[in-house]
Amino acid sequence: MMNVSIARVLFIVLLSVSISGCSTVLTKMGPLIYKLEDGEKSVGEFSKYKFSGGIQSNVIYLEKTPLCTEISEKVRVSQKQVRGRAFSIAELLLFGLGLIDAANAQAVVEVSRTVTPLAKYETGKFVVCGEKEPAANEMLVIQDKQRTFQKQAVTDAKGNLNLDQILADENRVLNLSIRLASDQTEAVSFIYTPRN
């Protein structure tokens, strides 16, 4: 009889502890934890064009896509951390009420979350910020690999340049290097065969 009374008292004490939500109370009493995170990314100002294209039947076609700088925001996030998970697990095993306590503790964490914007900065990456279009009126430098000649020519309104017109006085096969006049590093190689 005495064991049953002790068991009832113990059951009532454990039930009241689990209903009070130990994990929830400990989470509410815990301090805020601060950390830095990357926030939203946005598009900055125009920076440069990305050029693409090719050569078909001795005609160069050139297109350009506008690129803008990528802007990222640094934010400070503060929120509480779930504490007393062991109590929730014990409550779950004993009475099944640990789920309520764990859910309440998680809700406290979500409600305590605040995001404070700190600064915006350029990431050094570029993002497309417009439609691809013909690279009209772009100056190209055309030279052979043996460096016996160098010519400059401008693309038309459609971004095209006919090599047969530019190299009309050449009657030999040429190993050409073609690049933008504004960019010394980007070049493509092309074997030019004159049309007879």
What is the biggest distance separating any 2 CA atoms in the chain, rounded to whole angstroms? 117
| Site of tokens 């055309």 | 142
Q: What is the pLDDT along the chain (196 residues), one digit of tens a residue?
A: 567 777 777 666 655 555 556 777 777 777 888 888 888 888 888 888 888 888 888 888 889 999 999 999 988 888 888 777 666 666 666 556 666 777 777 888 888 888 888 888 888 899 998 899 998 888 888 888 776 778 888 888 898 888 888 888 877 787 888 888 887 766 678 777 777 6
> What's the rounded Cα separation, in Å, for the pair 176 and 159?
19
Contact 60, 176 (CB under 8 A): no
Whether this model's pTM surpasses 0.85? no
pLDDT of residue 180: 86
pLDDT of residue 66: 93
Contact 31, 17 (CB under 8 A): no
